[in-house]
């Protein structure tokens, strides 16, 4: 499970970084600063999604459900953020808030997967 946990913690780190970028964009009114922050968030979301995709292939049981949910939330956040970069909205704040919510939901599921994975590992020792 150590390798499994490592992928999850790397995904969690990227999700946290993406969240910080979206928070930065929400705190700004300068469109260029917002766009740059969202682009960086997209990069982090792609990395998190990649790690979660790898993890989905390895896990079963209760951890599997949390990893799949985290992957789905991360994918939705990435799609929404990428759409913003592709065509910047007149009022970006509702879209930024949507991305932020998906990232937070993904983080919650990653934390759940880590907790379940640790419990399962302890049961096998």
**Which residues have a Cβ under 8 Å from the Cβ of 32 and sit 6 or more positions away?**
none
Give the whole-number percent of the chain exceeding pLDDT 90: 78
pTM for the model: 0.91
Q: Taking the C-alpha atoms of 112, 117, 123 and 125 in order, what is their torsion angle to the nearest 10 degrees? A: -150
In this structure, CATH architecture of domain 2-123: Up-down Bundle (1.20)
pLDDT in tens, 97-115: 999 999 999 999 999 998 8
Radius of gyration over every alpha carbon of the chain, rounded to an integer in angstroms: 15
Domain residue limits, the chain = 2-123
């Amino acid at each position: 499970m150590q390798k499994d946990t490592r992928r999850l913690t790397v995904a969690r780190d990227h999700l946290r970084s993406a969240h910080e970028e979206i928070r930065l964009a929400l705190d700004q009114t300068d469109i260029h600063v917002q766009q740059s922050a969202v682009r960086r968030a997209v990069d982090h979301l792609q990395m998190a999604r990649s790690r979660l995709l790898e993890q989905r292939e390895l896990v079963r049981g209760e951890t599997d459900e949390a990893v799949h949910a985290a992957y789905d939330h991360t994918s939705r956040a990435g799609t929404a953020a990428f759409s913003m970069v592709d065509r910047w909205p007149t009022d970006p704040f509702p879209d930024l808030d949507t991305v932020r919510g998906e990232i937070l939901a993904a983080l919650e599921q990653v934390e759940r997967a880590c907790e379940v994975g640790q419990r399962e590992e302890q049961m096998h020792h």
